[in-house]
A and B are shown apart, each in its own frame.
Chain A
Amino acid sequence: MPRLPDAGAIGEGLALSTSRRGFLAWTSRLLALVAGGSAVSALVKPGEADAFHFCGHIYTTDSCPHPTGLPRIDAQGFPLRAADGRPVDDLGRPINAAGQPVDAHGVPLLDPDGLPLPPAPRRRVCQDAVAQRIARTTHIDGAWYRCCAGHVRKLVDCCAHTVRRINGDAALTGYCYAGRRVYCVMYYDTKIPC
């Protein structure tokens, strides 16, 4: 009887053509059934072979480089702090509308002379930062939606003509078009309750 890790590995290999949850669920359960019955099947739940590190993400592609870690973006693709949705610059500092770094109360941080600290560059995570990182034009081709923490979350693939994803291994097709593949993933939290 094939062992469970082997079944998972095969499932992950098959999933290179499509990374979505339904396919994984179907494949892993089928393999488990072939391997030996419902007892094993019960152990292999959808996505268990994957490494999703934020709600709604169901495959192993890692987050896009983000100034504060979790790849939360606004509607234009600029970085937001995951914890509270505040805009941050490329240093990860919360900023106001003028791009000046602010404290927890939204008051601009000042130097010893009482002048605001300088603004830092702020780039769109996929279209600018990732494009510069991999020296390729990047696109946001498509997205999928999940319910996370009571609100609809839009999960976004950052796509490019690349055979490698940010993890360093083979890139997947995902929701990319025109031959592009997923380099990394991001998300946008809507205000729509679910």
Chain B
Amino acid sequence: MIETINGPHRRMWLCCMTFALGALVGGVATFGTLAVLGSLAGVGGLELVAILGVAAAIADVRGRPIVPQIRHQVPEHWRRVLPLPLATFLYGVLLGLGFTTFVYAVALWALAGIAFALGSPQAGVLVGLAFGVGRALPICVLAPVAHRRAGRTVVDTMVQRPVVLAVVRRLAAACLVVVAASALVGDASGATRIGAGTDPSVSGTTVVWTSPTGGVARDEGTAATRSVPPHAAVGGSLIAWRDGDIVHVAQLVDLTAVLDVTVPGVTAVAVSDTWLVTRTAKSLDARTIADPGTVLHLATAKSATQLGRPALDGDVVVYHVATRRLSTIVSFDLTTATRRTVRTSKTNLLTNPSLLAGELLYDRQTSRAQLVELGPLDDGGRDRVLYRLGAPSVHDAGHEPGDSHRTRNVPPPTAKWRLWTTALSDTQGYVTLLPATGPAGAARLLSLPR
């Protein structure tokens, strides 16, 4: 290839550019396609990325034969029958595709597997671009100087000394190890996507949420799931769900009926062994499981005020109150009928709290970021961020077109998701992500290590 491009009358620089362009196109085509297929297959899993990376790294370090090997070269006659810039572009495409010519490192197959496993088209495109750059760089650097003595020496060394290939394979192995380590570290400390769904709640190690196909219950220690009614919440040994205007309460273990209550306009429920809390458009009410006829009014929503989804932990219920002037999170002790504002902001939007053993998990949205924060119920100064997303809205450039760019209004990245309902267990936090655009039914659920 270097010889092909290096000819003195062959428009060398143009050929270099077309070759590089072709390599990029080929790389993006291969890895982008694999990533799209991976996303459609829903493979996922950073563990698989780590396994592929380590396995390929070992093979490359040890100089293992590359299997499968592609024993083909680019069609030589193209450079004779086609305009050379077009031929070099097509050569670039073939080399960028990766699997159409001789493979020099196991890393290629590992990258293909990683792109598929990640299932992220953006990541696939980036891998493809990087691969294309890697393919094009040696050619485009050496071709202009290949006719000189030093260039000739380098080219000869590349093609005649196996040690060069061994070094390249070791470098690729080192990069794969870094990728594998990043995957493992990211998996250990980052969020894990559970699946499509919304409105999680937790009792012990059982997490319950509503998926597009119905309610789902899962034990945190296993991946096994079972069906429960949709729009359900768990607490203590009970599960409660709403079905129209009727709220059902049952034993979590076997769904044995405990209580049925009619609550006109109910939009959310929370339950514990002692209490059932319901939300309607304008009020938040509690009643005991033992005496559901006696209703305790917790809050009433005035115009332009929204009461959030309640969350119960024993005798304490938490919920958000959102107005145009103030955003608050309120805790209400049902045994003493005392209400306290535990978080408040005139600037940020605080929503969707959940509570466990005196620890509060909630969403904080600012103009520049969205945060899932965890801290003691009684001490907002010690909150820490469990999860962070970009801004909830699109910012402008901070300057008008044609005017100076000198401003501090640097726009933050905009998130594709909005934080929504949360839940808290001993080891995990859970948060719903609503799509920033499109139907809310495409929501997904994340688990966050505490």
Query: Which chain A residues have a beta carbon within 8 Å of chain B's beta carbons?
Result: 50-55, 57, 60, 62-63, 66-70, 81-83, 88-94, 98-99, 103, 109-113, 115-123, 128-129, 132, 166-167
The answer, yes or no, to whether B241 is at the interface (CB within 8 Å) is no
The answer, yes or no, to whether B159 is at the interface (CB within 8 Å) is no
Contacts A55-B403, A112-B199 given: A123-B420 contact, CB under 8 Å? no
Contact check, B409 vs A70: say whether CB atoms are below 8 A apart: yes
Contact check, B411 vs A69: say whether CB atoms are below 8 A apart: yes
**Complexed CA–CA distance, A112 and B351 (Å):** 15
Q: Considering the complex, which residues of chain B in the window 409-450 have a beta carbon less than 8 Å from any beta carbon of chain A? A: 409, 411, 418, 420, 432, 434, 437, 440-441, 443
Contact check, B367 vs A90: say whether CB atoms are below 8 A apart: yes
Q: Contact check: which of A62, A66, A94, A113 meets B267 at CB < 8 Å?
A: A113
Q: Contact check: which of A60, A67, A83, A118 meets B322 at CB < 8 Å?
A: A118
- Could you tell me the distance in whole angstroms from the C-beta of A139 to the nearest C-beta in chain B? 20
* Contact residues in A for B267 (Cβ distance below 8 Å): 113, 115
The answer, yes or no, to whether B366 is at the interface (CB within 8 Å) is yes
* Contact residues in B for A167 (Cβ distance below 8 Å): 408
- Would you list 16 pairs from A and B whose C-beta atoms are within 8 A, ordered by A residue? A51-B407, A62-B407, A66-B409, A69-B395, A69-B396, A70-B397, A82-B396, A82-B400, A91-B348, A111-B420, A112-B198, A120-B324, A120-B327, A120-B365, A132-B347, A167-B408
The answer, yes or no, to whether B259 is at the interface (CB within 8 Å) is no
Contacts A91-B365, A111-B420 given: A53-B346 contact, CB under 8 Å? no
- Determine the residue in chain B with the shortest Cβ distance to A89: B324
Contact check, B393 vs A67: say whether CB atoms are below 8 A apart: yes
Contact check, B398 vs A70: say whether CB atoms are below 8 A apart: yes
- Could you tell me the distance in whole angstroms from the C-beta of A194 to the nearest C-beta in chain B? 17
- Determine the residue in chain B with the shortest Cβ distance to A114: B440
**Complexed CA–CA distance, A68 and B391 (Å):** 10
Contact check, A68 vs B394: say whether CB atoms are below 8 A apart: yes
Contacts A68-B393, A90-B367 given: A118-B409 contact, CB under 8 Å? no
Contact check, A91 vs B393: say whether CB atoms are below 8 A apart: yes
- Determine the residue in chain B with the shortest Cβ distance to A68: B395
* Contact residues in A for B443 (Cβ distance below 8 Å): 112
Contact check, B440 vs A112: say whether CB atoms are below 8 A apart: yes
Contact check, B409 vs A99: say whether CB atoms are below 8 A apart: no
Contact check, B441 vs A112: say whether CB atoms are below 8 A apart: yes
Contact check, A111 vs B406: say whether CB atoms are below 8 A apart: no
The answer, yes or no, to whether B326 is at the interface (CB within 8 Å) is yes
- Render B189-215 as a binary contact track against A, CB cut-off 8 A, 1 for contact: 000000000110000000000100000
Contact check, B347 vs A129: say whether CB atoms are below 8 A apart: yes
Name, among A82, A94, A128, the residue most crowded by chain B CB atoms within 10 Å (CB to CB): A82
10 nearest A-B pairs in the assembled complex, by CB-CB distance: A118-B322, A92-B393, A51-B406, A53-B399, A120-B349, A99-B324, A69-B396, A53-B407, A67-B367, A69-B398
Contact check, B346 vs A132: say whether CB atoms are below 8 A apart: yes
The answer, yes or no, to whether B320 is at the interface (CB within 8 Å) is yes
- Determine the residue in chain B with the shortest Cβ distance to A71: B409
The answer, yes or no, to whether B27 is at the interface (CB within 8 Å) is no
Contact check, B325 vs A53: say whether CB atoms are below 8 A apart: no
Contact check, A118 vs B351: say whether CB atoms are below 8 A apart: yes
- Could you tell me the distance in whole angstroms from the C-beta of B410 to the nearest C-beta in chain A? 9
- Could you tell me the distance in whole angstroms from the C-beta of B197 to the nearest C-beta in chain A? 9
**Complexed CA–CA distance, A170 and B268 (Å):** 53
The answer, yes or no, to whether B323 is at the interface (CB within 8 Å) is yes
Contact check, A62 vs B409: say whether CB atoms are below 8 A apart: yes
- Could you tell me the distance in whole angstroms from the C-beta of A169 to the nearest C-beta in chain B? 12
Contact check, A123 vs B347: say whether CB atoms are below 8 A apart: yes
* Contact residues in A for B304 (Cβ distance below 8 Å): 98-99, 119
- Could you tell me the distance in whole angstroms from the C-beta of A21 to the nearest C-beta in chain B? 14
* Contact residues in A for B11 (Cβ distance below 8 Å): none
* Contact residues in A for B392 (Cβ distance below 8 Å): 91-93
Contact check, B409 vs A69: say whether CB atoms are below 8 A apart: yes
* Contact residues in B for A119 (Cβ distance below 8 Å): 304, 306, 322-324
Contacts A55-B403, A70-B400 given: A118-B408 contact, CB under 8 Å? no
**Complexed CA–CA distance, A121 and B365 (Å):** 11
